[in-house]
């Protein structure tokens, strides 16, 4: 047992580094650490819970009694408690009192050991003397391609949602899992369609009856010719790679299809919308299983989610009861589908792989390590060590949330000859949503939007892109000025915005000088994304523009946003 002369103080952890995500030894401070205090053996526990009203430690050692071992809030959201008599492998959790005075029991995100599923308690474990084997990974960390490398991968414990035999820890196989998942999604407001019972052409991936009805319902002023043109374009894409066709479809899905028709002998054009993003109930949501599709081969994905007849979500399930299969097997199956039934993926927005011990979402270009968890339902509290099964599905696939993600949080980053389709992570989604609401408040108060914190490698540049995109509708097309303090940062961030210009529906521009910046601002009443450096503001204090619809974002290492 590691012996300490005294329990470490809060000063042992540089708080500012922890909040930046740059403290690489936080594990030495947080979690459970065996030690001695005043000559008595036990363990000191520490957890970061900034919004908790109270935190206590519960476990076998106190019969899981809340409040018997209350923790003290020592600084900046950090709670601490020494508990005498704690031994290696003792099981524990944190009992957290929420702002609503609810008690929630959470595993330790810094635990060194945990129970075997379906249990999910943390275990006290001493890692002193443990030999780490990640030296090669650490040495390569600085060379990582941030966009195409994983941010964080967490194990997801879905057995906490539902087990076939809870008493004996027996999970469902994949067929039984699909049968359980369907009614669960139906409870979220989806209609169930059993594939073999639907009269349709098995060589068409679209649910044509639903799609046709939706186009007429969503576009009541368009004539038959316009609807026919939309249906034709949805089934006939120009030759190209699957990713290129999917990019065209995503533009249709997010912005509508430009259609042509003849009215009184004159050629006219209009936009035919595939989804009503302003009225969720005006759309049809269908969860389907046993949906056979025939192309290069005959395949039957486990679960499909249709919106207005479009198969925008594909779920592949693997049995957690079979040791030789797991979520990785589901990923392999999805990749095989992309070769066997590629047309299905023209219309795909999100792919899901699950074995009930891992549930992760990605896109058609995602490597397996880019499929990520979704750890919160509403952004107010997130699962820590284990992302719960219901959190994943309700966090993404409630109807309002799914529509918002489809419209505003999926983009293509064009890297020359290659394009990557990117689905926002849960942390990006909720942070951007909160930033937009804060900016809207700033327009009627002091103009100060706030500060957007991000840890290194967590996709700050893409969060700024999502934020800029949402501002266009939230604030009636403001002009956005992006400030950096170095030319290299200016170039890097500009390049990321340029790669996403199709999503933003406008190209960013560089202000080469203070006068150029002034002319760019004066030359427009709305829209525009302008990049510049802070040094240009040191040249003079003269006002550059008196317009009231300019949003300024300042980058490094977080980003500030304000409204003028």
Task: Please state, in angstroms and rounded to a whole number, the distance separating the CA atoms of residues 429 and 561.
Answer: 17
Higher pLDDT, residue 150 or 42:
42
Confidence of residue 46 (pLDDT cuts 50, 70, 90): very high
**Distance between CA 232 and CA 228 in Å, rounded?**
6
Q: How far is CA 253 from the centre of its chain?
A: 19
pLDDT reported for residue 162: 65
Asked if residue 560 has pLDDT above 60, the reply is no
Taking only the tens place, the pLDDT of each residue in 321-377 is 454 455 678 888 999 999 999 999 999 999 998 876 678 899 999 998 889 888 888
Residue 24 predicted with pLDDT over 80:
no
Q: For 453-475, how does the pLDDT look when each residue is reduced to its tens digit (9 = 90+)?
A: 766 667 888 999 999 999 999 99
3-state DSSP assignment of residue 427? helix
Print the SS3 string covering 250-290: HHHHHHCEEEEEEECCEEEEEEECCCCCCCHHHCCEEEEEC
335's CB contacts (< 8 A; 6+ apart) are none
pTM: 0.70
Q: Is the pLDDT of residue 148 over 80?
A: no
Which pLDDT band, with edges at 50, 70 and 90, does 275 fall under?
very high
pLDDT at 387: 56
Please enumerate in sequence order all residues whose Cβ is within 8 A of that of 269, keeping only pairs 6 or more positions apart, or say none: 258, 259, 260, 261
> Rounded to whole angstroms, how far apart are CA atoms 140 and 311?
39
- The C-alpha atoms of residue 465 and residue 469 are separated, in whole angstroms, by 6
* Per-residue three-class SS string for 174-212: HHHHHHHHHHHHHCCCCEEEEHHHCCCCCCCCCCHHHHH
Please report which confidence band the pLDDT of residue 154 belongs to, taking 50, 70 and 90 as the band edges: very low
The token pair that represents 412 in the structure block: 């293509």
């Amino acid at each position: 047992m590691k012996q300490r002369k005294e329990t470490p103080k809060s000063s042992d952890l540089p708080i500012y580094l922890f909040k930046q995500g740059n403290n690489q030894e936080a594990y030495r401070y947080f979690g459970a650490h065996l030690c001695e205090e005043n000559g008595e053996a036990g363990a000191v526990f520490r957890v970061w819970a900034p919004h908790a009203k109270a935190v206590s430690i519960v476990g076998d050692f106190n019969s899981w009694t809340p409040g018997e071992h209350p923790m003290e809030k020592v600084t900046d959201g950090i709670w601490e408690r020494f508990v005498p008599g704690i031994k290696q492998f003792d099981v524990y959790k944190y009992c957290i009192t929420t702002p609503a005075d609810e008690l929630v029991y959470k595993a330790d995100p810094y635990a060194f050991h945990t129970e075997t599923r379906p249990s999910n308690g943390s275990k006290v474990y001493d890692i002193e003397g443990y030999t780490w084997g990640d030296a090669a990974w650490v040495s390569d960390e600085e060379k990582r391609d941030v966009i195409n490398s994983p941010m964080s991968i967490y194990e997801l414990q879905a057995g906490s949602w539902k087990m076939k035999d809870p008493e004996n820890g027996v999970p469902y196989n994949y067929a039984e899992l699909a049968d359980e998942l369907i009614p669960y999604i139906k409870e979220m407001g989806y209609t169930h369609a059993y594939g073999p019972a639907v009269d349709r052409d098995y060589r068409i991936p679209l649910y044509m009856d639903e799609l046709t009805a939706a186009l007429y319902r969503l576009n009541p002023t368009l004539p038959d010719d316009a609807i026919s043109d939309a249906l034709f374009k949805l089934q006939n894409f120009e030759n190209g790679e699957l990713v290129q066709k999917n990019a065209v479809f995503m533009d249709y899905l997010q912005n509508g299809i430009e259609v042509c028709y003849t009215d009184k002998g004159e050629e006219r054009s209009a936009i035919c919308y595939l989804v009503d993003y302003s009225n969720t109930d005006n759309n049809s949501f269908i969860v389907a299983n046993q949906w056979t599709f025939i192309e290069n081969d005959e395949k039957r994905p486990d679960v499909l989610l249709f919106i207005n007849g479009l198969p925008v979500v594909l779920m592949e399930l693997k049995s957690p009861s079979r040791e030789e299969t797991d979520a990785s097997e589901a990923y392999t199956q999805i990749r095989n589908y992309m070769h066997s039934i590629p047309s299905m993926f023209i219309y795909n927005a999100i792919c899901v792989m699950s074995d009930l011990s891992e549930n992760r979402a990605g896109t058609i270009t995602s490597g397996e390590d880019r499929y990520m968890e979704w750890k919160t339902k509403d952004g107010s509290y997130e699962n820590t060590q284990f992302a719960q099964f219901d959190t994943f599905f309700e966090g993404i696939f409630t109807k309002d949330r799914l529509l918002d993600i489809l419209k505003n949080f999926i983009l293509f980053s064009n890297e020359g000859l290659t394009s990557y389709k990117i689905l926002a992570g849960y942390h990006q989604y909720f942070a951007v949503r909160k930033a937009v609401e804060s900016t809207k408040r700033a327009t009627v108060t002091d103009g100060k939007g706030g500060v957007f914190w991000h840890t290194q490698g967590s996709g700050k540049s893409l969060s700024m892109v999502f934020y800029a995109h949402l501002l266009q509708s939230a604030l009636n097309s403001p002009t956005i000025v992006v400030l950096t303090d170095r030319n290299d940062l200016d170039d890097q961030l500009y390049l990321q915005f340029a790669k996403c210009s199709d999503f933003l529906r406008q190209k960013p521009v560089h202000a080469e000088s203070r006068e150029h910046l002034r002319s760019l601002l004066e030359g427009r009443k709305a829209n525009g994304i302008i990049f510049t450096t802070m040094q240009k503001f040191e040249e003079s204090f003269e006002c550059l523009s008196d317009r009231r619809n300019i949003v300024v974002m300042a980058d490094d290492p977080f980003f500030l946003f304000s409204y003028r």
